[in-house]
Amino acid sequence: MLFHSTEAPAISRVPTRQEIPESDRWDLARIYPDDSAWESDFTALQQRYPQITQFRGRLAESPATLLAALEFEKSIDQPLERLGTYASLRVSENASDPAFLEREARLQNLHTNIVEQCSFLSPELMAVPDAEFAALTAAPALAPWHRVLERLRRFQPHTLNENEERLLAMSSQPLAGHEDTFSQLTNVDLKFGLITDSAGRQVELSQSSFSSFLVKPDHDLRRRTFHQFYEEFTDHKFTLASTLANSVRTDVFHAKARRYPSALDAALFRHNIPTDVYTNLVSTVRANLAPLHRYYELRRRALGLEEVHHYDTYVPLVPQITTHLTFDQAIDRTTAATAPLGREYTRELEAGLRGRWCDRYESKGKRSGAFSSGCYGCPPYILMNYKTDVFADMFTLAHEAGHSMHTWYAQRDQTFQDHHYPIFLAEVASTFNEELLTHHLLTQTDDPPMKAYLLNRQIDDLRGTIYRQTMFAEFEKIIHERQEAGEALTLDTLTTIYHELLVTYFGPGFTLDPQLDLECLRIPHFYSAFYVYQYATGMSAAIALSRQVLETGDPSRYLAFLQSGGRQDPIDTLKLAGVDMTSPTPVEAALQLFAQRVDELATLLKIDLDQP
């Protein structure tokens, strides 16, 4: 007799935060022991910041007065950063918790008031004649502030009068509302439903689990996941197009208000990045698309597909290799890979990762993706949504660990005003660690399938970080230029521009699903204008620096780079470390590595790409 179970298949759901063991969650007590301590600091800052007005009209009075004003502003900025880090990390834990959202909203209001109250500082300093400013700031007592004051003076052509600065400060929060709308919609409100996996289990599809499904060997599962995921974006495409268009309009408004030639110039000016760095990246990558198209053909053949789609671009090409890495195993491999940087680096990194720097796993309402975030004098926390069956998540951990150790060294060796490093440098430290991890894993195996698997992973890393992010960067440049030219950024405009880029970057042998045109509406980084290009430049610089460390065995120049924080302009910092990003050479070298790896992988897989 056959017995049939009438029980429904088990449904795998995203756990609540309370269901995640405390040991797998970050320990924010290093910032504030509890919410009441946060409230106490918040109240103290509310009462203190208005006293900044005692310096109004007096900044050029004497070096001592200017120093007192700068130190007082720091006494506002440092607790504000601490309050903001705690509030944002709590929202990242659960963006649907009204108490967390209310706390962050109160802080945003306070921040707006503080910026408004401090808005006289820059215009007043900018109004000081050049000779008087030079004499004032040459005082030895102001030596710790020289770099801050030099950078501030650069903004003289883009600083408005006091009343105008006050109005811009007051408008900052309402003009950023589109970003909050996008975050709430995509992280909380969108529901992607359940999907049946290859074992017949119903699993909840989410922003985080989407990537997990795309690496599965089951082609039909990948296809169903892709289409079901994008159905939800299709249902909200007009809203998402509106939020993105408003973000671009805000960028253009600020650039025009401050008399920059363009939004791109405005974004790059702050850290003195020449616009040629951006445009050279796009032109260099566009000139080297052939190896990328060659790789997609390799994918098609290796997977035995008649057509290659976007949902076929993440699954490993070596199906007999399966991975299941616990988070602690990922820590082991990451610390072993960073051994060339010395015992101090690996000791502090391991202690942090095992000592609850990291919020490890996905939970209900938790922000998707991964990031590193910290404040001066506190641990550099890491948010992950780690999946044991997603091999790439180990690289994500190494990536975020690179950010965190950059923060750790910069905080240790720099003052508060000099420790903040720009994203242009941050993405070097993160991708540097990924390069070390790749090198380490490749040296640990002689097994051809495993080597092919790792080569495949490095190729996909280069593809995702240089080619993909450059395509994003080109999209950002185009849509901002369209807005600056007075054109309307409608849903049709945005998706048409993006489709044309997809055709160019994916090549003639690639099958583009119409839903992929909506990808431009779900990229959170587009709400931080001209941010993503730094992933591509960062990886290019990281490849050059990692080769330098591995070939010489001397990490001193790289460690000096980490320790420098934000004391120098990023282009100069990298030049001192040994990489010139004003030249196309680092990007070209990275793309040559990509082409080399594609050919090596094709050889291991016994696929002759030169034969039809």
Q: Estimate the crossing angle of helix 162-175 against helix 98-117, to 10 degrees.
A: 170
Half-sphere exposure of 163 (CA within 13 A, CB side): 0
Within a 10 A sphere around the Cβ of 561, how many other Cβ atoms?
Answer: 25
Within a 10 A sphere around the Cβ of 208, how many other Cβ atoms?
Answer: 23
> What is the sign of the dihedral through the CA atoms of 510, 515, 517 and 522?
negative
Measured at the CA of 417, the angle between CA 414 and CA 418, to 5 degrees, comes to: 45
Active site amino acids: 400
Q: Estimate the crossing angle of helix 491-506 against helix 290-302, to 10 degrees.
A: 80
Alpha helix locations (H) across 209-270? Answer: 209-214, 219-235, 237-257, 263-269
Task: Identify the three-state secondary structure at position 113.
Answer: helix
- Under 8 Å between Cβ of 451 and 314: no
Place of tokens 């989407």: 210
Rg (CA), the chain: 25
Tokens of 364: 């209900």
Task: Identify the three-state secondary structure at position 532.
Answer: coil
Tokens of 300: 């098609």
Place of tokens 């992933």: 535
* Alpha-carbon span 356 to 372, nearest angstrom: 13
- The amino acid occupying position 212 is S
DSSP state letter for 308: B
Q: Which residues contact 401 (CB under 8 A, 6 or more apart)?
A: 334, 338, 349, 353, 372, 382, 433
Task: Identify the three-state secondary structure at position 351.
Answer: helix
- Among residues 135, 155, 340, 174, which one has the least CA distance to residue 259? 155
- Under 8 Å between Cβ of 247 and 476: no
Measured at the CA of 309, the angle between CA 308 and CA 312, to 5 degrees, comes to: 85
Helix (H) or strand (E) segment spanning residue 100: helix 98-117
- Under 8 Å between Cβ of 423 and 436: no
List, edge to edge, every strand of the sheet that includes 194-196: 11-12, 202-204, 194-196
Measured at the CA of 216, the angle between CA 399 and CA 24, to 5 degrees, comes to: 45
* Alpha-carbon span 100 to 94, nearest angstrom: 8
Tokens of 612: 């039809």
Place of tokens 């990808």: 519
- Under 8 Å between Cβ of 382 and 393: no
